[in-house]
Amino acid sequence: MSALALYDTLTRTTSPFVPLKSGEVSIYLCGATVQAPPHIGHVRSGINFDILSRWLTKSGYKVTFIRNITDIDDKILAKAVVEDMPWWAVAMKYEREFTFAYSALNVLPPTYEPRATGHITQMIELMSDLIAKGIAYAPGNGDVYLEVRKLSSYLTLSRQKLDDLLPAGETGDGFKKDPRDFALWKAAKEGEPFWTTPWGNGRPGWHLECSAMIHAYLGDAFDIHGGGLDLIFPHHENEIAQSQAVGWKFAARWMHNAWVTTSGEKMSKSLGNSLLVRAMLERYRGIEIRWYLVSAHYRSMLEFSETALNESVVSFRRIENFLHRAGEKLGYIPEPVISQNFTDAMNDDLAVPQGLAHISEAMRIGNLALTSDDVVGLSAAASEVRGALDVLGCDPFDPAFGKPENDQAEALDGLIKLALSQRQSARARQDFAASDSIRDSLATLGIIIEDTPQGPRWSLTPTTSRTPHQREER
């Protein structure tokens, strides 16, 4: 039995995972700033850490998973002007978009999903402590800054030197002692929302909310802090700075997911709407998009291409088809079983691509068993495939992806069987023109006919319309 080892951004090495508290794991993931609808890059992060959480759970840990929502920030205020809505309505609108996307892609809900605006009290307490320790200061304009030169250590995660940083663009209008000092709290400008503090009316800076929420739910020390690569600096550095300055131990391990890129470049919102999750769900099923995003290692860039996505969809349908055929042959849906091979792959810093090779191997064995009527072998192989898919959140039988069977499906089955019996009689009298014409007509409707030694079987070409629940607002 292999032991779980995970990469740590702080040490830049993969090391055995040892939880702070035996049998329990606490994870904090920097979630969305809800100022725009999510594209597939955003949900890749959610999916990667969903898999981490699922794998820890399968490994027997009790997982506490906190994923925050930043619902107040400059961009949200800017969007409120553009959309002519209150800022809180903007935040809620896009929060729902994220929730919809996570749900459609089978990202399990976190244990708790705290919002920044719900934790102003904790933020004020944290600032008070930092000011009392002489590490933060309120210059009197309503801002509160953290004085980075006062820190005993800083920039350990990104391994940079303070003096090597390019001069900050934001100077704080001369109120900062050093241009690299960062804002814990920002004074409200005319017409902006604010909360009252001892230092004036204002709102949270970008980094403070995470430290406050982490401490509220996970305490002084917790196991894993996650987020996208770009958060290493400044966001996570500043979280470390303000949290450790008040004496919290903070994260024991840092994990960062890589980008989805297009044409070799980081995805940006200026690329248009085509890669928004909602738009992609018009063309692909959630499980297929998830499969595509899962197939690359979480620390590798995933270069998006339509071709690669389509190939990924085909390969997923092949697996799905195998499981369905196995189920038909066995008369029951095989229970998920996690193989040793797959366990070893996952334990090696969540090496999903290696796990995929084991799925292929199990499929090959399973298909052989299927043609040679080896029911025991088939059941074992199908269980192994399903177990692996289950860990990846891509189990076709997961109720999260909806049940294709319903009353109409029964009627459809009857109709197609009727057509198939016509075709069989045509074949029996060697009238292949007629039999092929029936097959072609069905194919036009998206119904695929395959002749097997047990007789013909039919399946539908998967379309998004088969899973309409995924497109509904929740």
**Does position 102 bind RNA by CB under 7 A?**
no
Query: For residue 273, what is the DSSP state?
Result: S
Q: Give CA–CA dist 325/323, Å, rounded.
A: 5
Could you tell me which residues come within 8 angstroms of residue 66 by beta carbon, excluding any fewer than 6 positions away?
Answer: 26, 27, 28, 29, 110, 111, 112, 113, 114, 213, 214, 217, 218
Q: Which is nearer to RNA, 193 or 402 (CB)?
A: 193
The strand pair at 221-228 and 24-33 is best described as: parallel
- For residues 260 and 293, the answer to whether their CB atoms sit within 8 Å is yes
303 forms beta bridges with 261
CB of 400 to RNA, least distance (A): 22
Among 7, 222, 291, 322, binds RNA (CB under 7 A): 322
Q: Which is nearer to RNA, 226 or 286 (CB)?
A: 226
Binding to RNA (CB under 7 A) within 296-315 occurs at: 296-297, 300-303, 305, 307-308, 311, 314-315
Q: Which is nearer to RNA, 266 or 471 (CB)?
A: 266
Binding to RNA (CB under 7 A) within 114-153 occurs at: 148
Taking contact as CB under 7 A, which single stretch among the options 17-25, 159-167, 190-198, 334-342 is the one that binds RNA? 159-167
Among 103, 128, 354, 464, binds RNA (CB under 7 A): 354
Taking contact as CB under 7 A, which single stretch among the options 120-128, 134-142, 245-253, 348-356 is the one that binds RNA? 348-356
Q: What are phi and psi of 204, to 5 degrees?
A: -65, 145
Give residue 260's Cα distance to chain centre. 12
Q: Give CA–CA dist 363/358, Å, rounded.
A: 8
- Count of residues touching RNA (by CB under 7 A): 86
Q: Give CA–CA dist 293/295, Å, rounded.
A: 6
What letter represents residue 418's amino acid?
A: L
The strand pair at 260-262 and 302-304 is best described as: parallel
**Does position 225 bind RNA by CB under 7 A?**
no
Binding to RNA (CB under 7 A) within 380-409 occurs at: none
Q: Which is nearer to RNA, 461 or 465 (CB)?
A: 461
Q: Which is nearer to RNA, 20 or 301 (CB)?
A: 301
What letter represents residue 148's amino acid?
A: V
Among 16, 23, 60, 169, binds RNA (CB under 7 A): 169
What letter represents residue 170's amino acid?
A: E
26 forms beta bridges with 64
CB of 31 to RNA, least distance (A): 7
- For residues 111 and 27, the answer to whether their CB atoms sit within 8 Å is no
CB of 183 to RNA, least distance (A): 8
- For residues 21 and 82, the answer to whether their CB atoms sit within 8 Å is no
Instruction: Sketch the per residue contact string, 181 through 200, with RNA: x for CB under 7 A, - otherwise.
Output: -x------------------
**Does position 12 bind RNA by CB under 7 A?**
yes
Q: Which is nearer to RNA, 284 or 322 (CB)?
A: 322
Q: Which is nearer to RNA, 42 or 253 (CB)?
A: 42
CB of 235 to RNA, least distance (A): 5
Q: Which is nearer to RNA, 335 or 436 (CB)?
A: 436
Among 142, 228, 387, 462, binds RNA (CB under 7 A): 228
Among 7, 17, 25, 42, binds RNA (CB under 7 A): 42
Among 360, 400, 412, 466, binds RNA (CB under 7 A): 360
3-state helix, strand, coil in the chain (%, to 5): 50, 20, 35
Taking contact as CB under 7 A, which single stretch among the options 27-35, 54-62, 102-110, 331-339 is the one that binds RNA? 27-35
Write out the two tokens for 18: 């040892």
Write out the two tokens for 152: 């005993």
- The torsion of the CA quartet 38, 41, 46, 50, rounded to 10 degrees, works out to 140
Q: Which is nearer to RNA, 19 or 291 (CB)?
A: 291
Q: Give CA–CA dist 119/213, Å, rounded.
A: 7
CB of 295 to RNA, least distance (A): 7
Q: How many helices (H) and strands (E) does the chain have?
A: 14, 16
- For residues 460 and 320, the answer to whether their CB atoms sit within 8 Å is no
* Count of all residues that appear for the chain in the document: 474
What letter represents residue 133's amino acid?
A: K
**Does position 440 bind RNA by CB under 7 A?**
no
**Does position 321 bind RNA by CB under 7 A?**
yes
Taking contact as CB under 7 A, which single stretch among the options 55-63, 257-265, 385-393, 412-420 is the one that binds RNA? 257-265
- For residues 209 and 68, the answer to whether their CB atoms sit within 8 Å is yes
CB of 265 to RNA, least distance (A): 4
Taking contact as CB under 7 A, which single stretch among the options 40-48, 56-64, 187-195, 464-472 is the one that binds RNA? 40-48
**Does position 74 bind RNA by CB under 7 A?**
yes
CB of 473 to RNA, least distance (A): 21
Q: Give CA–CA dist 116/67, Å, rounded.
A: 11
**Does position 435 bind RNA by CB under 7 A?**
yes
Q: Which is nearer to RNA, 125 or 361 (CB)?
A: 361
